[in-house]
Amino acid sequence: MNVCLVSTIGYPTRTKLGGVPTYTRTIAQALAREGHRVFVITHGADKTLTHEEDGPVHVYWAPMGNLHYYFHRIFRRVGVWPRVVKAFEWGWAIRRLVLQLSDTVGVDIVQYSNVWGEGILHPASIGMAVRMNTPLCVARPIPGCGDQPGWGTYERLEQSIVRRAALVSCHTSSIAELVAREYGIARRRIATIPNPVDIEQFRPLPRPAGQPPRVFHPGPRLDDWQKGTHVLLQAMDHVLKKLPDAELYVAGRGELPTAGVSERVLGATTVLGWLDHSSLATQYALADVTVVPSLNWEAFGNVCIESFASGTPVIASDIGGLSDVVTSGEMGFLVPPGDPRSLADVILDVLSDTRRPAQMGQRARREAETRYSFAAVAHQTADAFGRVASSVP
């Protein structure tokens, strides 16, 4: 089967941040290992189409044009209307490239990440799938989003794409139920397919003997309030009162939000900066627990399954897709978002029993192997794609 994946906001050979690029690369490589031919289309900064090979995966960096840019420059204060223009402009660029690939090598199915409404001009002759990451309806109540001019049109654009797709897939059942409810489509039309994780790269390592209790926060943006880094720092103040030798390691870009943070916490905190996957895997494996204290909707939380694969339990906010990924009491715990005291209590509960992190970590590793491995997710994805491809005349 010839599969084309659209990753609008980049691809990890050039792009370091973002769940969509990470997912695209991992599923592309996984499908290629299963014998499928895989093409990726992403937005390129150059004025001409460029091509590179990422192992067996063909990556096309496509130019988009500047119509949306000039529209924004001329019509200032027009809300999200430039995004609507961008959807059609980028959608047209994708359509042209998809048809070109279809004519030359054949394309059985195209899956859109649906970041900019890029599937709006998809050719009807080719199977269409949409991967819903964070639906626009989630952002509707956020100031500066749903209250902007044009937001209603932007949402309707996304809805029309989702309703046209032969396959809609979501990371978790909670997102699938939200999409079904908000977009008026039958729940049975939506497949729940998780993101994959590289269980060979992310794997348990022996921890140094006598290592102090170690907490890891993978960021990835330390100065983004939505990631809740400041909540974790407040929680650590309570943790250190009872476990004064505990250590916090944080990774990611941006400045640590130190306002109001005690010297005790700052002294116990090591900022690692941005880490590549190899270094990130080491940090997961060395930690006793990974903390994901998000305050806003998380579609899935790749950091959770990376931690699982590394044999480290996760404490996460009970919000969005995190609630589906982390089974509280089995592979980690869920806590109310934005509640430093509750977070501190659970961290202490995990760290106070030296056997508990190891026991939960073993269950987490088994979960990663059986549910989130490349092979498991690629098989599930290929089955869904195959049903769509076979139904296209």
Handedness of CA 310, 314, 316, 318 (dihedral sign): positive
**Other residues' Cβ atoms within 10 Å of the Cβ of residue 316:** 29
Sequence length of the chain is 393
Q: Are 116 and 8 in contact (CB under 8 A)?
A: yes
- State the pLDDT at residue 281: 96
CB 256 within 8 A of CB 265: no
- Please give the Cα distance from 328 to 69 (Å, whole number): 46
CATH 3.40.50.2000 boundaries in the chain = 2-196+373-391, 214-372
Extract the runs of DSSP E, i.e. beta strands, from 280-372: 289-292, 314-317, 332-335
The CATH superfamily assigned to 2-196+373-391 is Glycogen Phosphorylase B; (3.40.50.2000)
CA angle 179, 11, 223 (to 5 degrees): 75
Whether 21 contacts 12, CB under 8 Å = yes
Token digits for 3?
A: 């599969």
Among candidate residues 17, 347, 298, the one with its CA nearest the CA of residue 175: 298
Residue 115 near residue 44 (C-beta atoms within 8 A):
no
Q: What are phi and psi of 87, to 5 degrees?
A: -60, -45
**CA 239/CA 343 separation, integer angstroms:** 9
| pLDDT score for 17 | 63
Strand bridging mode 190-192 / 167-170: parallel
List the pLDDT tens digit at each of the 393 positions of the chain: 999 999 988 898 887 667 788 889 989 999 999 999 999 999 988 889 999 999 999 999 999 877 766 676 676 668 888 888 889 999 999 999 999 999 999 999 999 987 789 999 999 999 999 998 788 888 888 888 889 999 999 999 999 999 999 999 998 888 899 999 999 999 988 999 999 999 999 999 998 888 999 999 998 888 888 899 999 999 999 999 999 999 999 999 899 998 889 999 999 999 999 998 899 999 999 999 999 999 987 878 889 999 999 999 999 999 988 999 999 889 999 999 999 999 999 999 999 988 888 999 999 999 999 999 999 999 999 999 999 988 876
Q: Which of 115, 97, 119, 117 is nearest to 107 (CA)?
A: 97
Strand pairing partners for 291?
A: 315
| Three-state DSSP state, 335 | strand
Q: Which pLDDT score is estimated for 69?
A: 66
Determine the pLDDT at residue 285. Answer: 97
Sign of CA dihedral 207, 208, 211, 214: negative
**In this predicted structure, what is the pLDDT of residue 16?**
66
Question: Residue 139 and residue 137: Cα distance in Å, rounded?
Answer: 5
Query: pLDDT value at position 44?
Result: 87
Q: What is the pTM assigned to this prediction?
A: 0.84
Among candidate residues 168, 156, 166, 165, the one with its CA nearest the CA of residue 87: 156
Alpha-helix residue ranges (DSSP H) falling in 14-150: 19-33, 67-74, 81-104, 136-139
Residues forming a β-bridge with 271 = 250
- Show the DSSP H helices in 129-172 as ranges: 136-139, 151-164
Which token pair is 189?
A: 């039309």
Angle at 306 between CA 301 and CA 311, to 5 degrees: 130
pLDDT score, position 142 = 82
Long-range contacts of 170-177 (CB under 8 A, 24+ apart): 170/131, 170/132, 171/133, 171/195, 171/299, 171/300, 171/321, 171/324, 172/299, 172/300, 172/321, 172/324, 172/325, 173/324, 174/320, 174/321, 174/323, 174/324, 175/132, 175/135, 175/299, 175/320, 175/321
Specify the 3-state DSSP secondary structure of 86.
Answer: helix
DSSP-assigned states of every residue in 227-276:
G-HHHHHHHHHHHHHH-TT-EEEE-SBS----TT--HHHHHHEEE--S--
Assigned CATH topology for domain 214-372: Rossmann fold (3.40.50)
